Amino acid sequence: MIISVASGKGGTGKTTVATNLALSVPNAQILDCDVEEPNSHIFIKPEIKSKEYVFIPVPKVNEAKCDGCGKCQEVCAYNAIAVVNKKVLIFPELCHGCGSCSYFCPQHAIKEVNKEIGFVETGKKRDLLFTQGKLNIGEAMSPPVIKAVKKHINSAQVNIIDAPPGTSCPVITAIKKSDFCILVTEPTPFGLNDLILAVEVLRKLSISFGVVINRSDLGDRKTDDYCRKENIAVLMKIPFKKEIASAYSKGIPAVEQFPEYKQRFKDLFNLINEK
Amino acid sequence: MKICITSQGDSLDSQVDSRFGRCQYFIIADTESSEFEAIENSNVSGMGGVGVQSGQFMAERAVRAVLTGNVGPNAFRVLQTAGINVITGVSGVVKTAIERYNKGELKPIQDPSVDSKFGMPGMGKT
């Protein structure tokens, strides 16, 4: 089973929900796919056991063979190549590693070489398995790292994916093939605006989903009204409590500080399992 | 000699566009004959690599200099390799910019004037 936790708006509580859920259900694995700034480890505190590097293929030109025809520039969909004065300029940070340039080069002058863009670490905290990806600083292309994290999904387990914020490629890559997606939101105008965008994405991807409203006693009723109108299940509400925020700031998951939350997250899992 | 001025409109009375890769129009002007051509920039809302693409376009049009507000590192690398002079900090009316260039008042730069993504919507424009 794969449950992803996404949000639209950042800072609504994805990691709070993902880590507490992972700590509350048996036979679980948490996969931190927010590879630009993975932070589940702060709450899980796993013992890291392995590290593997993630590479993407980028073009390298053999200048002795290249006649500067410009075909590579023409076929590159990502503007990662310029050819001026018969000289090929490559911009690796724009490259998506699709391989079109080397495939179409009439002179066979382009070879793809591996460029490291990040890494994946795996580990454990008691029975909970832990996997996280980290994109190297300065790299823009997070989906290959997210895909490398998702290779560690084990179908015999409850896999909980902590997704990046937003609604673009990294989010799609992270939540694709999930059995269920939890959308974490907050009852503010920004929270609702971005929730609506995220709902559109999930409907397009045909993934079942429900909403968790964090800091539910702040803001207004518009998020509730929207969910009712759209027939979206509100699975859980987490109140705005200083004690929860205080524990969070120390890296202590709510379920460890407040045992009653363990049951609440178990209930959340059971609710999803029934759907 | 052909030069290019990034422009917000399609005439010589338009304002210089402060962005290179994402400018509205490229005005390609002949410094001797005062003839010009305005080309709508198809890269305005491109996802990425627009500096590279616009730089490539300048090389294809064989311009000798680019007059604009700012140029990022990728576009600068393309323009420099193509041997095109890059003049940044240009503002005001296109026609005046051409006149100033002809008088030799504008000097090329040796380094990009802004970082990548500067011309993206919502980023700091000058």
Mean pLDDT of chain B: 91
pLDDT of B124 above 60: no
pLDDT of B125 above 60: no
Closest Cα in chain B to A86: B82
State the smallest CA–CA distance between residue B10 and chain A in angstroms.
25
Closest in A80, A83, A87 to B49, CB measured: A80
pLDDT, tens digit (0-9, with 9 covering 90-100), for B40-73: 999 888 888 999 999 999 999 999 999 999 999 9
Give CA–CA dist A239/A156, Å, rounded.
Answer: 33
The domain segmentation of chain B, as residue ranges, is 2-102
Q: Following DSSP, what letter does each residue of A15-51 receive, concatenated?
A: HHHHHHHHTTSSSEEEEE--TTS--HHHHH-PEEEEE
pLDDT band with cut points at 50, 70 and 90 for residue B122? low
Put simply, whether B77 touches A (Cβ < 8 Å) is: yes
Q: Following DSSP, what letter does each residue of A72-131 receive, concatenated?
A: HHHH-TT--EEEETTEEEE-GGG-----HHHHH-TT--EEEEEEEEEEEEEEEETTEEEE
pLDDT of B123 above 70: no
pLDDT band with cut points at 50, 70 and 90 for residue B126? very low
> Which residues are paired to A236 by β-bridges?
A212
List of domains in chain A: 2-54+118-274 (3.40.50.300), 63-108 (3.30.70.20)
Question: Do residue B77 and residue A89 have CB atoms under 8 angstroms apart?
Answer: yes
Which chain A residues touch B if contact means CB-CB below 8 Å?
A: 73, 78-85, 87, 89, 91, 94, 140
Question: Do residue A82 and residue B50 have CB atoms under 8 angstroms apart?
Answer: no
* pLDDT of amino acid B59: 95
**Best to test chain A binding among B81, B86, B116 (most A CBs inside 10 Å):** B81
Set of chain B residues whose Cβ sits within 8 Å of the Cβ of A89: 52, 77-78, 81
pLDDT, tens digit (0-9, with 9 covering 90-100), for A27-64: 999 999 999 999 999 999 999 999 999 999 999 999 99
The enclosing H or E element of A65 equals none
- What number of CA atoms fall less than 13 Å from residue A131's CA on the CB side? 21
Q: Which of A40-44, A53-57, B100-104, B109-113 has the lowest mean pLDDT?
A: B109-113
> Which residues are paired to A128 by β-bridges?
A125
Q: What is the mean pLDDT of each run of 10 residues along chain A (275 residues)?
A: 96 96 96 97 97 96 96 95 95 91 96 95 96 94 96 97 96 97 97 97 97 94 96 96 92 94 96 89
pLDDT of B86 above 50: yes
Which has more pLDDT, B6 or B119?
A: B6
Question: Do residue A82 and residue B83 have CB atoms under 8 angstroms apart?
Answer: no
pLDDT > 90: what percent of chain B? 75
Set of chain B residues whose Cβ sits within 8 Å of the Cβ of A143: none
Residues B75-93, mean pLDDT to the nearest whole number: 95
Task: Select B2-102's CATH number: 3.40.50.150, 3.10.20.90, 3.40.50.720, 3.30.420.130.
Answer: 3.30.420.130
pLDDT of B116 above 80: no
Closest in B48, B53, B78 to A84, CB measured: B78
Put simply, whether B74 touches A (Cβ < 8 Å) is: yes
